Chains A and B, each alone.
Chain A
Amino acid sequence: MTLVIKKIDQRTLRDLKAEAARRGLTLAEVFQEAVSLWLTKRQETPVLTETDKNNEFYESNEAELERHYKGRYVLIASARLVGAYDDLHAAGEAMRGLSPRPRHAILTKVGEDAREFGEWLGGSLER
């Protein structure tokens, strides 16, 4: 496939061509590698950050959430409490209404969700 890129900085392009030549790569190969790296980085960084921020909010407000919203679903997104809901459908409706749409949010039934343990033995482990 042919791709035409306009308004690229001449100096950047010159450096890129020189580096590609030093490594014995075509410009297309360098471009492909650069794009892959950028996409991987973009996918990992925001997700991790959002997850961490939401969890930090939850952990620092856990006692207060227990006090005010026991037995209710709380939804946390963008490191803030979006709302507390009596049923899952209402929480889902709130999520659908969020704009911009977060990639990560915490949803938990306060005081009822608990840490669980399980087993994963044999079966499909080897496949």
Chain B
Amino acid sequence: MNCYPHDRVASQPRLKIQLSNFAEERWEDNTFAPIDTGFSGAVMLPNESYEFFMVGEHPRSLWKTYRTMTGTLQMRVARAFVETEGGRMVETVVETPLFGTGKLLLGRAVLSSLSLLLDGPAGVSCLVKPADAR
């Protein structure tokens, strides 16, 4: 079981992931992505990070629309791969807002395929069992 400390500043639970673009080229090493169960998508990225994945972008007619607390938000979408520690590389999508800066987040489309233990008092998130993500 791999455990990762929560973000010190925001006390936010995080997971270590490895992202690659669809051409299987790695994007940075061992990214700590904040967990956000309020985000139904897979992986959100800041605009500048998303550029690396734009070699496999969906047509704009298929970009995703999100309902948020302040209205709707359109996201650009690109095919990618995500890997958790001890798991295998699985296909996913990365997204970034069409308007706005975006941020790094791990959403439910990935989280729902993992067995996770969120230990608040200990300030760690543990990956009990890596599994296929979507």
Is chain A's interface secondary structure helix, strand, loop, or mixed overall?
Answer: mixed
Please provide the chain B residues from 69 to 90 with a CB less than 8 Å away from any CB of chain A in the complex.
69, 73, 78-79
Can you list 13 A-B contacts with CB-CB less than 8 angstroms, sorted by A residue number? A58-B59, A58-B61, A92-B23, A95-B22, A95-B23, A103-B51, A105-B55, A116-B64, A118-B65, A121-B38, A124-B34, A125-B38, A127-B10
Q: Max chain A CB contacts within 10 Å: which of B56, B62, B68? A: B56
- Say if the beta carbon of A96 comes within 8 Å of chain B: yes
Given contacts A95-B23, A120-B66, contact A55 B60 (CB under 8 A): yes
Proximity bits, A21-60, B CB within 8 Å = 1, else 0: 0000000000000000000000000010001000100110
- Say if the beta carbon of B103 comes within 8 Å of chain A: yes
Proximity bits, A87-123, B CB within 8 Å = 1, else 0: 0110111011000011111111000011111111111
Q: Max chain A CB contacts within 10 Å: which of B12, B23, B79? A: B23
B-contacting residues of A (Cβ < 8 Å)? Answer: 47, 51, 55, 58-59, 62, 77, 88-89, 91-93, 95-96, 101-108, 113-125, 127
A63 to B65, CA, bound (A): 23
A123: chain B residues within 8 A (beta carbon):
36-39, 105
**Size category of the binding interface on chain B:** 35 or more
Q: When the two chains form their complex, are residues A95 and B56 in contact, meaning their CB atoms are under 8 A apart?
A: yes
**When A and B form their complex, which 5 residue pairs have the shortest distance between CB atoms, in order from nearest?**
A123-B38, A118-B40, A107-B56, A92-B23, A95-B23
Select one of B10, B63, B67, B79 contacting A88, CB under 8 A.
B79
A-contacting residues of B (Cβ < 8 Å)? Answer: 10, 12, 22-25, 34, 36-41, 51, 54-69, 73, 78-79, 91, 103, 105, 107
A119 to B57, CA, bound (A): 21
A89 to B20, CA, bound (A): 12
Select one of A104, A114, A116 contacting B54, CB under 8 A.
A104
A108: chain B residues within 8 A (beta carbon):
58-59, 62
Q: How near does chain B come to A40, taking the closest CB pair, in angstroms? A: 12
Select one of A77, A102, A113, A119 contacting B62, CB under 8 A.
A113
Given contacts A95-B55, A124-B38, contact A115 B69 (CB under 8 A): no
Q: Max chain B CB contacts within 10 Å: which of A91, A95, A116, A127? A: A116
